[in-house]
Amino acid sequence: METEMTAIAVTPRLHWVGAYDPQLRIFDELYPTRSGTTYNAYLLQLGGKNILFDTVEEHFFDQFHARLTSVCAIADIDLLVTQHTEHDHAGSIGRLLQLNPRLKVYGSQAALRFLGQQLNREFAGEAVKEGQVLELGEGAQLQFVLAPFLHWPDTIFSYLPTEQVLISGDAFGAHFCPAAGRLFDDEVSNFQADFQMYFDTIVRPFKSQVQDALKKALSLDIRTICPSHGPVRRRRVTEALTDYDRWSTLACAEGRRILLLEHSPHGTTRAMGDRVTQRLEAQGCTVVRFKAVELDEARFQDELECADALVIGAATINRDAGPPVWKALVHLSTVTPKNRLALVYGAYGWSGEAVKLIEERLLGQRYKLAAPGVRWQFSPTESDIAACLAQVDALLAAL
Ligand SMILES: Cc1cc2nc3c(=O)[nH]c(=O)nc-3n(C[C@H](O)[C@H](O)[C@H](O)COP(=O)(O)O)c2cc1C
């Protein structure tokens, strides 16, 4: 039986030396967790070297330190690999460097830069390259795989051929906290919902980068995946790879698809939406309409990823677009849109800010506007309608 502060052997030469955080309910002040999380760090003892992969959130330094020193003195750590420099994994590097100033840090070029900006102190670092193999001595090797944007730009994976282990950073992770002493997927209750939630909230904006990383991972012989949060996978490895492949593959219906998001308290903007829809459908487009105030967020996210264009009809409310519109537009950055082309229109009474503010949000998310937005006061005139439909024609031409 493991005690709470003991390292856990993943293989005879690789130990988990991370920390449990069962109390955490909202990770990063953003994402809910059901059972907390773990901050996973691993110590490899191979080829006469002690190599540490990642650290933990600084508040958990004592747990980490106890587990780490149950296997190896801090002064004896030869190398530290930072797989990405987010605070929950790099947050204890500063304290480690105080204890072992000769510690050399390996990471991507971006990781070393970010770490320098976080620590504001000198340290010995070496930037790793795609596929670089580090000879550890006694024939043992460590291989680096660049995995940018999974989910930070500085992310790398580390592959240990002798152990057939992929240390994967946040990819394949889950905010799930096993009971103390437990670590592996075959020792814990089903955490598939947490695994999927993790993908949806953290990895989903980077689907094309997931596909790139998967191609590299699939060329490796992997028996165990060691992520930086949640259970280590030694039983359901293929399932994790398959899930990531499926979730990062866009499965969209054939044909031109337009997502129309509407907010229209008095119905005028929605009536314009009927005309816009007719025009688009007449040109063979499928129009999927969403009422912002009753948004099915999961469906909206899926449609954002399949839409050839996003059209927004929104009235001005209190010198702004209405809160339901902003709530929906949060999802511009939670998914990987297929095409970033957009159009905005809307009714207003006296000041009319909504169209412009929505356009600014879209431009900030790298959308292109097919035409300048159209707005009108209260009920649209014939010329307002004509202007709006001309705007739709410009969109059709840009598709
Ligand atoms: C609560 C509320 C606040 C509003 N605030 C503004 C405003 O600040 N500026 C403006 O131009 N119009 C404002 N309006 C007027 C609407 O934009 C206008 O009635 C518009 O025609 C409504 O479009 P709809 O029929 O699509 O809902 C407001 C309307 C409501 C209901």
CA nearest ligand 1 atom 21, residue? 378
Give the mutation target among 262, 264, 266 for probing the ligand 1 site: most ligand atoms within 8 A of CB.
266
How many CB atoms lie under 10 A from the CB of residue 136?
A: 20
Question: Confidence band (pLDDT; 50, 70, 90) for 250?
Answer: confident
Whether 173 contacts 227, CB under 8 Å: yes
Whole-angstrom distance, CA of residue 324 vs CA of residue 291: 9
* pLDDT tens figures, 44-74: 999 899 999 999 999 999 999 999 999 999 9
Atom of ligand 1 nearest to the CA of 320: 8
Mean pLDDT of 67-87: 97
pLDDT at 63: 96
Which residue's alpha carbon is at the smallest distance from atom 20 of ligand 1? 348
- Give the Å distance between the CA of 316 and the centre of ligand 1: 5
* pLDDT higher than 50, residue 1: no
pLDDT of residue 315: 98
Beta strands in 253-351 (DSSP E): 257-263, 286-291, 309-314, 316-317, 320-321, 341-348
The CA 364 to ligand 1 mean position distance, Å, reads: 25
Over residues 362-384, mean pLDDT: 98
Ligand 1 atom showing the smallest separation from residue 348 Cα? 17
What digits encode the pLDDT tens for the residues 160-210?
999 999 999 999 999 999 999 999 999 999 999 999 999 999 999 999 999
**From the alpha carbon of 269, which atom of ligand 1 is closest?**
26
**pLDDT at residue 2 greater than cutoff 60:** no
Q: How many angstroms does the Cα of residue 127 sit away from the middle of ligand 1? A: 55
| pLDDT for 139 | 84
* Atom of ligand 1 at shortest range from CA of 318: 8
The CA angle 50-56-62, to the nearest 5 degrees, is 90
Alpha helices, H only, 40-156 = 61-69, 87-90, 93-99, 109-119
**Ligand 1 centroid – CA 38 distance (Å):** 48
Distance 331 CA to ligand 1 centre (A): 24
The answer to whether ipTM exceeds 0.90 is yes
How far is 32 from 89, CA to CA, in rounded Å?
19
Q: Is the pLDDT of residue 24 over 90?
A: yes
User: What is the number of the ligand 1 atom nearest to the C-alpha of 270?
Assistant: 26
Q: What percent of the chain has pLDDT over 90?
A: 95
What is the chain's mean pLDDT, rounded? 96
Atom of ligand 1 at shortest distance to CA of 377?
Answer: 21
The band of 245, judged by pLDDT with boundaries at 50, 70 and 90, is: very high
Q: Are 140 and 146 in contact (CB under 8 A)?
A: no
Ligand 1 centre to CA of 288 (Å) is: 25
DSSP 162-180: TTTEEEEETTT-----PPT
Tokens, residue 55: 């650290």
Instruction: Say whether pLDDT at 3 is over 90.
Output: no
Please give the distance, rounded to the nearest whole angstrom, from the Cα atom of residue 27 to the centre of ligand 1: 37
**Stated length of the chain:** 399
Q: Which domains does the chain have, with CATH numbers?
A: 8-247 (3.60.15.10), 257-394 (3.40.50.360)
Q: Measured in angstroms, how far is the CA atom of residue 355 from the centroid of ligand 1?
A: 12
Tell how far the Cα of 274 is from the centroid of ligand 1, in angstroms. Answer: 19
For a ligand 1 pocket test, name from 348, 377, 388 the mutation site with the most ligand atoms within 8 angstroms of its C-beta.
Answer: 348
> Which residues does ligand 1 sit against, CB inside 6 Å?
264-269, 315-319, 347-352, 378
- Quick check: 251 pLDDT over 90? no
The whole-number pLDDT of residue 355 equals: 98
The pLDDT score that the predictor gives to residue 68 is 98
Confidence at residue 138, expressed as pLDDT on a 0 to 100 scale: 82
Confidence grade of residue 127 (pLDDT, cut at 50, 70, 90): very high
